[in-house]
């Protein structure tokens, strides 16, 4: 039996759905969108540390970055031109004392 030519695309779409589910779990865990979580860690992390251990937060941040990187590569493979990391940083404004 011949494999369907769409199989790689279907696999990519399935993996994107699984990535989205994993991101949603992180959002539920921290009670905020993944963008808010990223910006909170990059900005003022102390409110997160009231409820979570620093190692746990940093591990989850690394997991989020890995998931977003994989999702971006899969989307580009499907012909969708995105820059998920630029979207993360667009709302972030660094302030200096």
Orientation of helix 7-30 relative to helix 54-77, angle to 10°? 150
Q: Please determine, for residue 94, whether its predicted confidence score (pLDDT) is greater than 80.
A: no
Residue 23: predicted pLDDT = 97
Asked if residue 30 lies in contact with residue 37, where contact means CB atoms within 8 angstroms, the answer is yes
pLDDT tens per residue across span 3-17: 566 677 789 999 999
Q: Please determine, for residue 92, whether its predicted confidence score (pLDDT) is greater than 60.
A: no
Residue 90: predicted pLDDT = 59
pLDDT tens per residue across span 24-74: 999 999 999 999 999 899 888 999 999 999 999 999 999 999 999 999 999
pTM: 0.81
């Amino acid at each position: 039996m011949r494999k369907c030519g769409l199989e790689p695309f279907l696999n990519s779409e399935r993996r994107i759905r699984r990535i989205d589910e994993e991101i949603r779990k992180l959002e539920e865990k921290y009670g905020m969108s993944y963008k808010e979580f990223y910006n909170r860690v990059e900005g003022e992390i102390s409110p997160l540390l009231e409820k979570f251990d620093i190692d746990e937060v940093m591990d989850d941040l690394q997991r989020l970055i890995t998931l977003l990187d994989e999702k971006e590569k899969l989307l580009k493979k499907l012909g969708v031109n995105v820059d998920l990391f630029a979207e993360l940083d667009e709302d972030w404004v660094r302030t200096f004392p």
